[in-house]
Amino acid sequence: MSLSRKHLVIALAGCSLATGIVVSAFAANDSGAPSEAPYQGLVELGFPAPQEGELVHVPPTMADLEDADIHPELKKVIRYGYDLFTNTQQLRGEYVNNDMNCSSCHLGEGRQPFSAPVWAAAVTLPDFRGKNQHVNNLEERIAGCFAYSMNGTPPQYGSDEMLALSAYHQWLATGAPMYPSQPIYGRGFPAPDEPAESPDYARGEAAYQENCAICHQDDGAGHYENGEYVFPALWGDGSNNWGAGIVRVDTAAGFIYNNMPLGQPRSLSDQDAWDIAYYMSSQERPQDPRYTGDVAETLERFGPTFHKRSLYGQTREHDGHVLGDHANFGEKGNVEPWNVGVPRFESLSSE
């Protein structure tokens, strides 16, 4: 079976402009246009429909990989990348020091819209990144999620693990245009609308107990069964550290609203999603690897580019606890990941 890439521009009914939805789907045969609009199922679950002018990409599945007309050695490496992505715990103690897999946050094996589908990075990088103030490529982006979200130390650039993971990301992007000019449908974890009332700890705690504790437990530590994690930790040593993207309250609200409770996306009210995100973001977790030794100083340095959207360094109202005021790096201990705080391209003259 040969594979073809399809780029269709669907003009919306009643729209006379040349702009439309750009659909890139991976098709295992030449049977023409997809039989139904992509992501119709998501729309039925309450997700927004693709908008005019958006890039809508349906990544290939692992079943498509088996049929793909690519070198068998490449297939092996992509399969390994998939395996690392969905079972990152196999790197526990080496590159990973918490209870997470990449797929704990990037649901649906990294393919799912509104769950930060990872293929987007493969077609938009290299690009400037505000978080570290320089141009990053795909490997450096992946390394970032290791250092922060996985509370780990990334595999080296060019290593087998890194190459396999990036091959998986790039494979998922098959058929999508490089450096697209359109916004990408379902990218990131878009936050729900601003809530009517500002997020509240006590309301968040109550909503958490009602909607989340059955799986993530009362104490947010998640759940292990027979030594294997089933429900990942939302805070505490088993979770991501203070430098991870999901500690930003709006990102957390976006993740929760679009993905949780598991199997019931978009079932929470905007208010509940924000309240729970605020409650979750008000709990302790391993220290930010960029920690200078002082929480106020760290906040001052990384506030403008990052922590202005998190509760790091803030005082918790109900007990006066200053969030992030500790030197607990979790299971990783006091090892600074090699990719943190490394400036690049400094020799290039400024324009």
Question: What residue ranges bind ligand HEC (CB under 6 A)?
Answer: 88, 100-107, 116, 118, 120-121, 124, 141-142, 145-146, 149-150, 165, 169, 187-189, 211-212, 214-216, 231-234, 239-240, 244-246, 251, 255-256, 260-263, 268, 276, 280
Strand order across the 55-58 sheet: 4-10, 21-27, 55-58
Applying CB under 8 A, which of residues 21, 23, 42, 102 lies at the interface with another protein? 42
Q: Which contiguous run of DSSP H or E holds residue 225?
A: strand 223-225
Q: Does residue 223 bind another protein (CB under 8 A)?
A: yes
Applying CB under 8 A, which of residues 11, 262, 296, 322 lies at the interface with another protein? 262
**Residues paired with residue 27 on neighbouring β-strands, in sequence order:** 4
Q: Does residue 41 bind another protein (CB under 8 A)?
A: yes
SS3 58: strand
Applying CB under 8 A, which of residues 56, 107, 143, 184 lies at the interface with another protein? 107
Alpha carbons 285 and 237: distance in angstroms, whole number: 6
Q: How far is the CB of 31 from ligand HEC (least distance, A)?
A: 28
Q: Does residue 111 bind another protein (CB under 8 A)?
A: yes
**Residues paired with residue 134 on neighbouring β-strands, in sequence order:** 129
Q: Does residue 211 bind another protein (CB under 8 A)?
A: yes
Q: Among the candidate windows 156-164, 165-173, 208-216, 312-320, which touches another protein by CB under 8 A?
A: 208-216
Q: What is the DSSP letter of 203?
A: H
Classify each residue of 272-301 as buried b or exposed e, where b means 16 or more C-beta atoms within 10 Å of its C-beta. bbbbbbbbbbbbbbbbbbbbeeebeebbee
Q: How far is the CB of 329 from ligand HEC (least distance, A)?
A: 16
Q: Does residue 322 bind another protein (CB under 8 A)?
A: no
- Which of ligand HEC, another protein, none binds 57 (CB below 5-8 Å, type-dependent)? none
Q: Does residue 43 bind another protein (CB under 8 A)?
A: no
CB-wise, 128 or 300, nearer to ligand HEC?
128
Alpha carbons 219 and 199: distance in angstroms, whole number: 20
CB-wise, 34 or 108, nearer to ligand HEC?
108
CB-wise, 88 or 97, nearer to ligand HEC?
88
Alpha carbons 118 and 143: distance in angstroms, whole number: 13
Four-residue CA torsion sign, 242, 245, 248, 254: negative
Q: Does residue 108 bind another protein (CB under 8 A)?
A: yes
Interaxial angle between packed helices 201-211 and 270-281, expressed in degrees from 0 to 180 and rounded to the nearest 10:
100
Q: How far is the CB of 267 from another protein (least distance, A)?
A: 8
Alpha carbons 113 and 129: distance in angstroms, whole number: 21
Q: Does residue 36 bind another protein (CB under 8 A)?
A: no
Alpha carbons 309 and 206: distance in angstroms, whole number: 23
Burial of 178 (0-12, 13-18, 19+ CB in 10 A): exposed
Q: How far is the CB of 119 from another protein (least distance, A)?
A: 14
Q: Does residue 1 bind another protein (CB under 8 A)?
A: no
Q: Does residue 225 bind another protein (CB under 8 A)?
A: yes
Name the site residues for another protein (rule: CB under 8 A).
Answer: 41-42, 45, 61-62, 86, 107-109, 111-112, 211, 214-215, 223, 225-226, 228, 230-231, 261-265
